[in-house]
Amino acid sequence: MDDYHVIAFYAFFPVEDPHLEVKRQKKFLAERDMRGRIYISEEGYNGQLSASPDASNEYIAWMKDDPRFADVQFKIQTFHEHPFDRVTVKYREQIVAMDEKVDMQLVGEHVAPKKWREMLESRDEDTILIDVRNNYESEVGHFEGAECPDLETFREFPEYANRLAKRLDTKNTKVMMYCTGGIRCELYSSLMKERGFENVYQLDGGVINYGMQEGSKHWKGKLFVFDDRMVVPISEDNDEVLTVCKDCGVSCDHYFNCARMDCNDLFISCLECAKKARGCCSESCLKEGRVRPFNPDHAPRPYRRLSKEEKEHLAGT
């Protein structure tokens, strides 16, 4: 069959009964060759899915029959297999966890990829380019000249915004920001406006959309994604590797989750070193026990949730 479609979308609008929408989504997805996760709240939708081409087309058509989604951008990449192992549709109080309410009427100006490239090429000293992602995401790839905050979760970004407001001229500084698919910039651009920044711009559709339209021009490295692919090129001409194995120093950008159940930290390693460590991030984690089976015969992917029997077995090792 053709490659699977990997779909990313989001939408901010008032949702009167998110629990009913969860049921509707579950029913539609269960009847088709689709996997992934959708989070729904009173503030909107956040979805990442994989689907056969037919199911993908049916889903997007079904969604766009709803006037609320008529103008929503469904970004599509392809992959040779499902990068998700199951379907998850859940209600969440926040579709992006920032723990701070913002006025979504203050959202920054959306900039199309072509204009974004032009802005990068004409950027002056009064412009700051911010990577609005976690540190482990920007480590494997980012735009040239971007400020990549050393933050581990999106919840830490409001305090980072406070520091920026003290450091920069909020009236005259041009703030350019980007994230993977655009949703985090919707919140963060509004937050920056609330902090007093007057000139805020966000990459429309995020890095995914930029790669689809402009290739890897001004982009360094690869793109971290929250599914089985973990690290992917943003376009066909994108093969640059920025990172090295933490043990041997060879050039690689393979992320692994530590195989020790009580750790699970992300780390970059070549396959040979990961084999030696049985998928653990350190010798101490390997010795501590409760280590999940490590399969070196496929590309690295996040660990699945273990069955009850597997957990009981590991607890006794």
The residues annotated with a catalytic role in the active site are 179
CA 109: distance to chain centroid?
A: 21
Nearest to 199 by CA among 130, 149, 261, 134: 130
CA of residue 60 relative to chain centroid, distance: 20
Q: DSSP letter at 244?
A: B
**Which regions of 120-275 does DSSP assign to beta strands (E)?**
127-131, 141-143, 174-178, 199-203, 219-221, 223-224, 231-232, 255-257, 266-268
| Chain centre to alpha carbon of residue 63 | 22
The residue type at 286: L
One-letter identity of residue 249: G
CB neighbourhood size of 81 (10 A): 10
SS3 content of the chain, % helix, strand, coil (to 5): 30, 25, 45
